[in-house]
Amino acid sequence: MSQFWKPGTERPQGRVVDDEEGGVLFLSGSHHSSSSSRYGYASIDKQRQRLPVFKYRTAILYLVETRATTIIVGETGSGKTTQIPQYLKEAGWAAGGRLIACTQPRRLAVQAVASRVAEEMGVKLGEEVGYTIRFEDVTKPDVTVLKFLTDGVLLREMMDDPLLTKYRNCELDVKVPGRAFEHELEKLRHVIMLDEAHERSISTDILLGLLKKIQRRRPELRLIISSATIEAKSMSDFFRMRKKRREPENEEHGLQVEPVILSVEGRGFNVQINYSEEPVQDYVQAAVSTVLLIHEREPAGDVLVFLTGQDDIDASVQLLNDEVQTTGKHSSGLIVLPLYSGLSRAEQELVFSQAPRGKRKVIISTNIAETSLTLEGIVYVVDSGFSKQRFYNPISDIENLVVAPISRASARQRAGRAGRVRPGKCYRLYTEEYFLNHMSNEGIPEIQRSSMVSCVIQLKALGIDNILGFDWPASPSTEAMIRALEILYSLRVLDDDAKLTSPTGFQVAEIPLDPMVSKMIIASSQLGCSEEIITIAAVLSVQSIWISGRGIQKESDEAKLRFAAAEGDHVTFLNVYKGFHQSGKSSQWCHKNYVNYHAMRKVLEVREQLKRIAKRIGLVLKSCESDMQVVRKAVTAGFFANACHLEEYSHNGMYKTLRGSQEVYIHPSSVLFRVNPKWVIYNSLVSTDRQYMRNVITIDPSCLLEAAPHFYQLQQSNHLLR
């Protein structure tokens, strides 16, 4: 491989732990994790004891007992997520009806970790150990004591229970004096673990701000913040600011408010870094050839490839599988598996299971395997240098997921995944010069590159009025904030005083979807088409209901035509749903029509939940039968801000957004692709070589003025009537 690869100079796994510093305690471990034993037949207890975090069990429990906030830093795979909640339970933190909560930014990680912990504890998932992600609650009231959930779900739970008293699971009677009072206080002590804090997801950042606030009112609430990087330092500074406002009664409880950092990282094994000698043109192709080279020339050991999303992952899985079939001899020992959110339970299990003797597992993953999930047996890492990231431009009000370069911190994490079991190798599909001189050092927190619309509404619902003055771990931009207020005002979710309107604002806040989708649902209740709009909202909440892929494009496009509606994708979804229903929800029907059965089951589930929520907040459930005009009106009521019109002299289907005059095009997956109606509204944008609109519906421009007269001001209305 020497012609193509150039060994690098940096060792990825060596991490610097700062010295002891005012009020922050660093404990550093320097042992190897010896989890290679997972390949042996060690009992679960033995396996658990071999994890690096086990040596710190007593220290962790002591710190949680005595400190309000404990920050734990430890390399991926050291046992933070799976072990710490169990230690807490063993130490009695779940006694007396309390619940231990552990958040993750990613849904797939929530499921995988919960099922692993249930397995370790020898219990059925959904009983003592459960999980909650949006639209899926696998917990049992009064039985579940360890609950894994996404940070987004915890944030939602706070809307019903702002002080998170639920995590004690029992009613308090604080009027009782004396010992009984002590007993009641005891019940209040519970722990919330915010895991993967280094990811700086938007919900984690909001939670950090909120929990800091709550701790002031409820000092007995313990917080564990865990992180794979020393980024924890800034976390500690964030929580340390409390010192100035220290409340004396906290000290009375014998609780120290100063946060503490405990570092459990043990050095992984050496990882040899190889860089590409030349810049890589096509990272999918380069990743595939690199995997084949590794397989041909390197000794046994599994391969982990970092690509960006379902599209490029599926493409490379297919390329590798084709290779296995055509050339046979070199690649026969390869088992190629994709890893991204949206995989079924069975597919997930394959990723975690051990490859049969003599076979080499190749896992092609999104960023999720960077720190959220630990895969055993990885010896080789192939790093494309990219990931899908959310970017928001407050000027054009466009937020989209873009394939963008990762940071050096991420590249180091990725490389580190190769050194868990024994010395490994990492192949970076970029040059060393690029790594050293062009990659940014750290990623930007998601809150600084996202639309603030959902965030503002959630904080408002939590009664936090001064959003600009909120104590953020990283402040969002003022422009994004103002833009969000403007949009929420035009959706009539906020009033002139920037307070939630009643009932619309409160209803929108109750629905766990993007406020535009929620507004569309509320409007549909007034327009008499809520049954249809709830189906559309459910379809929009799954990734795609179509089966696509190389080689079946033609067939799947033809199948799509059977359902295509002139109004556009939203109405097409209604046709698919109807067909699915009439077939008796048959999987054969799905197969025949290139519809994803798994996605349709999910649509049914989400739809039921949305109906329940709609009823709870007083919406009227009604069908408009075949009147698609009202369906379009309801979509417009939510998505008027995404209106576009076809450029008059455009011959290539170029649209401009009404609001920001941005160039956009209809995505090839849309039934309106090449149809190019004059006026459309899109659901979301994806950006590749161009900005593409996904899920598009035709509209009547007069409905825009009706839906949001103040949003489309005078000069634009002239334009509209042109």
Interface positions with ligand CDP (CB under 6 A): 35, 38, 51, 74, 76-83, 112-113, 116, 352, 374, 376
Write down the residue that tokens 């970092």 correspond to.
306
- The answer to whether 701 and 718 have CB atoms below 8 angstroms apart is no
Helical spans, DSSP H, in 258-383: 283-297, 310-327, 345-352, 368-371
Of residues 409 and 533, the one with the C-beta less far from Mg ion:
409
Nearer residue to ligand CDP within complex by CB, 51 or 540? 51
Min dist CB 349 to ligand CDP, Å, is 9
Please name every residue paired with 21 in a beta bridge, in sequence order, or none if there are none: 24
Least distance from Mg ion to the Cβ atom of residue 642, Å: 37
Of residues 48 and 659, the one with the C-beta less far from Mg ion: 48
Of ligand CDP, Mg ion, none, which one does residue 638 interact with (CB within 5 to 8 Å by kind)? Answer: none
Nearer to Mg ion, 231 or 314 (CB): 231
Bridge partners of 500, per DSSP, are: 494
Specify the residue, 79 or 445, whose C-beta has the smaller distance to ligand CDP: 79
- Which lies closer to ligand CDP via its Cβ, residue 38 or residue 216? 38
Of 374 and 593, which CB lies nearer to ligand CDP in the complex structure? 374
For residue 35, the partner it binds in ligand CDP, Mg ion, none, with Cβ less than 5 to 8 A by kind, is ligand CDP
- # residues contacting Mg ion (CB under 5 A): 1
What's the angle, vertex CA 330, arms to CA 326 and CA 334, rounded to 5?
A: 85
Nearer to ligand CDP, 104 or 389 (CB): 104
DSSP track, 411-463:
HHHHHHGGGSSS-EEEEESS-HHHHHHTS-SSPPPGGGGS--HHHHHHHHHTT
Nearer to Mg ion, 262 or 508 (CB): 262
For the CB of residue 93, give the shortest distance to ligand CDP in the complex, in Å: 18
Closest distance to Mg ion from the beta carbon of 129 (Å): 15
Closest approach of Mg ion to the CB of residue 195, in Å: 6
Question: With binding defined as CB under 5 A, does residue 413 bind Mg ion?
Answer: no
User: In this complex, which beta carbon is closest to ligand CDP, that of residue 148 or of residue 639?
Assistant: 148
Among Mg ion, ligand CDP, none, the one that 139 touches (CB under a kind-dependent 5 to 8 A) is none
Which amino acid type is present at position 3? Q
Specify the residue, 73 or 292, whose C-beta has the smaller distance to Mg ion. 73
Closest by CA position to 380, among listed 319, 315, 318, 298? 298
User: Residue 361 belongs to what H/E stretch?
Assistant: strand 360-365
Residue 277: CB minimum distance to Mg ion, A: 35
Residue with tokens 């911190």: 409
Helices (H) and strands (E) in the chain, counts: 27, 22
Q: Where are the beta strands (DSSP E) in 42-200?
A: 69-73, 100-104, 129-133, 136-138, 146-150, 190-194
Nearer CB in complex with ligand CDP: 77/209: 77
Beta carbons of 198 and 166 less than 8 angstroms apart: no
Nearest distance, CB of residue 474 and Mg ion, angstroms: 22
352 touches, from Mg ion, ligand CDP, none (C-beta below 5 to 8 Å by class): ligand CDP
Q: What burial class does residue 467 get, using C-beta atoms within 10 Å of its C-beta: 0-12 exposed, 13-18 middle, 19+ buried?
A: middle
The label of the residue with tokens 């839906």 reads 707
Min dist CB 116 to ligand CDP, Å, is: 3
Instruction: Show contacts of 675-681: CB within 8 Å, 24+ apart.
Output: 676/646, 677/568, 677/646, 678/645, 678/646, 679/643, 679/644, 679/645, 679/646, 680/568, 680/643, 680/644, 680/645, 680/646, 680/655, 681/635, 681/636, 681/639, 681/640, 681/642, 681/643, 681/644
Measured from the CB atom, the residue of 387 and 458 that comes closer to Mg ion is: 387
Rg, Å, the chain Cα set: 26
Site for Mg ion in 255-284 (CB under 5 A): none
The distance from CA 263 to its chain's CA centroid, rounded to whole angstroms, is 26
d(CA 319, CA 287): 10
Work out how close the CB of 124 gets to ligand CDP at its nearest, in angstroms, rounded to a whole number.
Answer: 16
Nearer to ligand CDP by Cβ, of 114 and 456: the residue is 114
Q: Which of 13, 35, 69, 81 binds Mg ion (CB under 5 A)?
A: 81
Report DSSP state, residue 158.
Answer: H
Residue 104 contacts which entry, Mg ion, ligand CDP, none (Cβ below 5-8 A, type-dependent) = none
DSSP 8-state code for residue 171: -
**Could you tell which of Mg ion, ligand CDP, none binds residue 445, using a CB distance below 5 to 8 A set by kind?**
none
Among all residues, whose Cβ is closest to Mg ion? 81
Phi-psi region of 301 (alpha: psi -120 to 50; beta: other; left: phi over 0): left
How many other C-beta atoms lie within 10 A of the C-beta of residue 178? 7
Least Cβ distance, residue 70 to ligand CDP (angstroms): 15
Interacting span for Mg ion (CB under 5 A) from 76-84, 305-313, 546-554, 706-714: 76-84
CB of 194 to Mg ion, least distance (A): 12
Q: Which of ligand CDP, Mg ion, none does residue 51 bind to, with CB < 5 to 8 Å depending on kind?
A: ligand CDP
Least spacing, CB of residue 464 vs ligand CDP, in Å: 31
Tell me the β-bridge partners of 319.
none
Q: Nearest approach, Cβ of 113 to ligand CDP (angstroms)?
A: 6
Nearest approach in angstroms of CB 289 to Mg ion is 32
The amino acid at 424: G
Binding mask 31-70 for Mg ion (x = CB under 5 A): ----------------------------------------
Q: Which does 377 bind (CB under 5 to 8 A by kind): Mg ion, ligand CDP, none?
A: none
Which residues in 156-247 belong to E strands, given as ranges? 190-194, 221-227
Distance in Å, CB of 197 to ligand CDP, minimum: 12
Whose tokens are 């192949």? That residue is 427
Q: Which does 507 bind (CB under 5 to 8 A by kind): Mg ion, ligand CDP, none?
A: none
What strands, in cross-sheet order, belong to the sheet with 129-133?
136-138, 129-133, 146-150, 100-104, 190-194, 221-227, 69-73, 260-263
Q: What does the binding site for Mg ion look like in residue numbers (CB under 5 A)?
A: 81
